[in-house]
Structure 1
Amino acid sequence: MSRNKRFRKSAPPRRYATPQTLPNPDFLRVITCNLQWGTPAEGWTDVQKANSRAEAFIRGLGERCRSLFKSGSVNTRTQLTEENLKQTAQVLQQLKPDILALQEVDKGQRRSGYVRQARVLAEALRLPYWRIGASYAGQSQVLHRRPLDSELKAESGYGIALLSRWPAKSWHFKRLGRVRARIVWGSDPWKGFSHGFLEGLRDLPAAAKGTGVRFGQMRVLLAARLATPLGTVALGTTHLEIHRPTAASQLRRAWRSLYHLRSESCLLVGDFNLRDYQIDKVLQPLPTEQHPELHAAIPSYPADKPWIALDQLLGNGWELVGEPQALRLPISDHRAVIYDIRPVKTAQ
C-alpha cells in the first residue's frame, strides 16, 4: 500500500524561531510527556478534589454557572496555565530536547484558560518545527466534533503534538479509531446476590459505585520525517485508548503505518496505555520483519510514585545511550520520560 493511503500528508511545516545547534552531536534526545492539558500537580479546583461523582457534578455545575456571569475565573485559569507551562518549559529547557512528543494537549480550551499549549512550549523551548494532531475540535466540556483540519488552524480542540529542533521533510496524520461506548462496572456490583436476590438488590446501589457509561475518544497518530544531523528518521507520537484490547489494535496500526513511512529508520513514542511487558505479545501478529528492534520504557505513572511504564518508545535503526530517565514536572499526573538515542552502527 502506498504512503498516501496509509497517511494523510499535511502542508509544509510552520517555523516560529531559529533552531539552535545540536546540544550533543552524538545522540538525539527525545522526550515524551503527557501534559494532562496543563493540570498542576495539586489539581485545578475543588471539583477534582470531590469525594464522589455526585459531589463533583454539583461543584462543577456551580462553577460553570458562576463562570457564565464572571470572567475572572477564565482570567485566573489563563494566568495559572501560562505560569505552569512557563515553569515546565524552564525544566525542559535545561534538558535540551531535540524532539518533544506531547499528549493531552489543549488549544483554546476553556478548562485550560484558552492557552495554545503547543505554541507556548515550542516558542519557549525554541523548537521551530511543530504541529498538532487533533483528536477532536470544540470545547471538551460540551459537544465536540471531528475537526475540519487536523492541525486546528482556525478552531479550538485537543490532541497530541510533535515539536522538533530539526526540519521536517513531510508531516503525516492518521486516525486510529475509537473504542465503542461501553458500561464500566464498579468494583463488585453483584457480590450481594450471593446472599440472595433481595439482599443483592438492596446492596446494589452501594456496590455499583463507580459504574457508568464510558464513551471512547478518537485516537490519532502524528508523524514527521525529520532531517536530523544523524540521519532521516520517521518519528511519530500517539496517545492510545485506556481500553487495552483497543489500545493493542491501535498500537499495531500505528507501528505498521510508521514502519511503511520510514526511509532510513523509525521511532514511535507516546502514552501507549499498555504495560511494557505486554508490547511483545501485542505486536506478535505483525510480520517478523516489522517487529521493532528497540523497545524502551521506565515507570512514569503516577507522577508522585511511578510504578507503571505507560510512556514508551519503539524503534528500528536506533539504540539507547544510557538508561531512560523519568522526570517529574510542575504539571501532569505523568512524568516526562527522556530517551537518548543514536543510530545503530552497521558492520562495515
Structure 2
Amino acid sequence: MRLVTFNILHGRSLRDGQVDTGRLAEAIRRLDPDILALQEVDRAQERSHHADLTDVAAAAMGAVDQRFVPALAGTPGAAWVPAADPDDPGTAGYGVSLLSRHPATAWRVLRLPRIPFRVPRTGPHRWPQRLAPEEPRVAVAGRFATPEGPLTAVSTHLSFVPGWGQLQLLALRRALAAVDGPVVLLGDLNLRGRQPERLTGYRPLGRRPTMPAGRPDHQIDHILLRGELGPVRLVDNPEMELSDHRPLVVELGARRG
C-alpha cells in the first residue's frame, strides 16, 4: 500500500507561477498513491481555472472514492467565510482532500479549534503586512476496505501559529481515540521534528525533509500510524513540478502473519 501526503499550493508552480491541471495530474500519476491526502486544494477558484483539483487528482490516480472538505468558502486571501456543513458543492472552496483506490465505508468531517484573534500575515519579504483572521482548519477521515483490512485515514492541514497547531493536533487525537483498528494521519501539520509523535503517541512512518521544495531542510508534512500495518518498504520525498512543499511517500508491504 502506497500512502502519500502532499500540500499542493493549489497546484501552482514556483517556477512560472502558473496553475496547470495537466501538470498536477502528471505529478499525481508519478506519485502513484493508493491513499492520497492533499492540502491547500482549490475548488471553483479563478486562480486555478475554476477546476475541481480533487477531481483532477482522482482521475490521475484512479481513485474509487474521494472527498473534498473545504475549510473556507470564498476566495483565500480575499472574501471568505468558514465553510458550512453540509458543504454546498457549487460554492468556491479551499481545503483538504482524501482520495483512495480502496472503497470507503464511512466518512467524517472534523472541524478543528479556531484561533479567536487576528494573526500577522506575511508578504513576499516575510515581514508582517497586516493582521487578518486565521483560516479555519479542518480534517477529513475516511474508513476504507483495504486488502489488509479496515483502515481509517485522515487528511488535515494545521495552523502555523505557535501553539495552535499543537492544540488542533491534540483535539484531533481525542476525536480519533474511539476509532477501532489502525489509523493513519497524513498532512501538513506545520510541526517540525518529533512534535507530532510526542503529542499523538502515533508512530512516524517516514522521516524526510519536505520544506522548502527546492532544497528541503525540515519536515512539516507527516504520515503517522496508530496501530499496526505492514512493514515500511520505501520512504521518499521527490521534487515535483509544483508547490513549495515536497510530497511525503511511504510504501508498506503486506502485513506478516
TM-score under structure 1 length normalisation: 0.67
Alpha-carbon offset, residue 319 of structure 1:
5.0
Larger deviation, residues 297-306 vs 314-323:
314-323
What is residue 145 of structure 2 aligned with on the other side? 227
Alpha-carbon offset, residue 210 of structure 1:
3.1
Structure 1 residues 150 and 111: alpha-carbon distance in aligned structure 2, compared to 1, 3 A threshold: farther
Mind listing any 5+ residue stretches in structure 1 that lack a counterpart? 1-27, 45-79, 187-208, 284-290
Larger deviation, residues 122-131 vs 89-98:
89-98
Larger deviation, residues 97-106 vs 295-304:
295-304
- Give % identity: 29
Residues 300 and 311 of structure 1 are in contact (CA less than 8 Å); yes or no, is this contact kept in structure 2? yes
What is residue 196 of structure 1 aligned with on the other side? none
What is residue 324 of structure 1 aligned with on the other side? 235
What is residue 39 of structure 1 aligned with on the other side? 12
What is residue 111 of structure 2 aligned with on the other side? 175
d(CA) in 1 for partners of 2:116 and 2:40? 20
The runs of 4+ residues in structure 1 deviating greater than 6 Å are: none
Q: Say if 2:240 is the partner of 1:267.
A: no
Alpha-carbon offset, residue 313 of structure 1:
1.2
d(CA) in 2 for partners of 1:281 and 1:265? 18
Alpha-carbon offset, residue 328 of structure 1:
1.5
User: Which secondary structure state, in structure 2, belongs to the residue aligned with residue 335 of structure 1?
Assistant: coil
Mind listing any 5+ residue stretches in structure 2 that lack a counterpart? none
d(CA) in 2 for partners of 1:340 and 1:185? 36
d(CA) in 1 for partners of 2:68 and 2:135? 17
RMSD: 2.3
Q: Point out the structure with max Rg over C-alpha.
A: 1
Give matches, 1:82-121, under 5 Å. Answer: 84-121=20-57
Q: Say if 2:94 is the partner of 1:162.
A: no
Residues 113 and 167 of structure 2 are in contact (CA less than 8 Å); yes or no, is this contact kept in structure 1? no
Residues 197 and 203 of structure 2 are in contact (CA less than 8 Å); yes or no, is this contact kept in structure 1? no
d(CA) in 1 for partners of 2:230 and 2:249? 14
Residues 131 and 151 of structure 1 are in contact (CA less than 8 Å); yes or no, is this contact kept in structure 2? no
What is residue 67 of structure 2 aligned with on the other side? 131
Residues 134 and 160 of structure 1 are in contact (CA less than 8 Å); yes or no, is this contact kept in structure 2? yes
User: Which secondary structure state, in structure 1, belongs to the residue aligned with residue 112 of structure 2?
Assistant: strand
Q: Say if 2:238 is the partner of 1:334.
A: no
d(CA) in 2 for partners of 1:303 and 1:139? 25
Q: How many residues align?
A: 253
Alpha-carbon offset, residue 151 of structure 1:
4.5
Structure 1 residues 269 and 181: alpha-carbon distance in aligned structure 2, compared to 1, 3 A threshold: same
Which letter maps to 1:312? H
Structure 1 residues 42 and 231: alpha-carbon distance in aligned structure 2, compared to 1, 3 A threshold: same
Structure 1 residues 159 and 95: alpha-carbon distance in aligned structure 2, compared to 1, 3 A threshold: closer
Deviations 1:56-76 (CA, angstroms, capped at 9, x unpaired): xxxxxxxxxxxxxxxxxxxxx
